[in-house]
Amino acid sequence: SRPVGVLALQGDFREHVAVLRGLGADVITVRRPEEVAAISGLVIPGGESSVMDKLSRTFGVADALKKQIADGLPVYGTCAGLIMLADRIIDGIRGQESLGGLDVAVRRNAFGAQTESFEADLDVPVLGEPPMHAVFIRAPVVAELGDQATALATLEDGTVVAVEQGNLIGTSFHPEMTADYRFHQYFLDKVAARSSRR
């Protein structure tokens, strides 16, 4: 079976590689279109989405990934990775694009300078108990949830911070920074389910 990939253009991709390997997955880093063709799923890490966007277009992986996403490739985006998966970006850098796929609008740096980072315990019904301890760092939020997307978790005020749509998952926060890898496992389960259908 084919390995899963971690987009390794920029950001904390090494942590995701380690988490996925710890869960028993065969993992490669992805920087080029040929690598996109070799994977059965992809994690897009946190970092800086505008830089990741530019590099992904320069290296030619953006077009390859858009095709794979449309074809049903399982992709899990965290933080900047969620921004990369959003169909619409609010407060993007001028000219910033995304791969898209999630029918949402995300607002970058939604918590502003006062609350650049914080932690919260989230109920995530698809993951069951216990609540997920979530770390937010200059995090985006899902400002508009489109009809095609489902909220997986919200803050106490109702702000959506985790979403799913078909084979795509996005979280505002960073599970790779805690010891709770249920979202990574949820992603690997989607990869396994799709592989068994093909």
Say which of 16, 35, 79, 164 is annotated catalytic: 79
The amino acid at residue 58 is: T
Output Rg (C-alpha) for the chain, integer angstroms: 15
Q: Residue 109 or 159: which CB sits closer to ligand GLN?
A: 109
Distance CA 112, CA 122 (A): 21
The reply to whether 112 sits in an annotated binding site is: no
Which stretch, 34-42, 44-52, 54-62, 126-134, contacts ligand GLN (CB under 6 A)? 44-52
Is residue 36 within 8 A of residue 68, CB to CB? The reply is yes
Our answer to whether residue 144 is catalytic in this structure is no
Task: Determine whether the annotation assigns residue 164 to a binding site.
Answer: no
Is residue 88 at the binding interface for ligand GLN, with CB under 6 A as the rule? no
Residue 195 belongs to what H/E stretch? helix 182-197
Q: For residue 34, indicate whether it is catalytic.
A: no
State which of residues 108, 111, 142, 163 lies at the interface with ligand GLN (CB under 6 A).
108
| SS3 call for 58 | helix
Per-residue DSSP letter, 2: P
97 is catalytic: no
| Alpha carbon distance 120, 123 (integer Å) | 10
Out of 20, 83, 132, 152, the residue judged to bind ligand GLN by CB under 6 A: 83
Three-state secondary-structure class, residue 29: strand
Binding site for ligand GLN (CB under 6 A): 46-49, 79-80, 83, 108-109, 137-138
Q: Which residues are annotated as a binding site for L-glutamine?
A: 47-49, 108, 137-138
Q: Which residues are annotated as a binding site?
A: 47-49, 108, 137-138
Annotated catalytic residues are 79, 174, 176
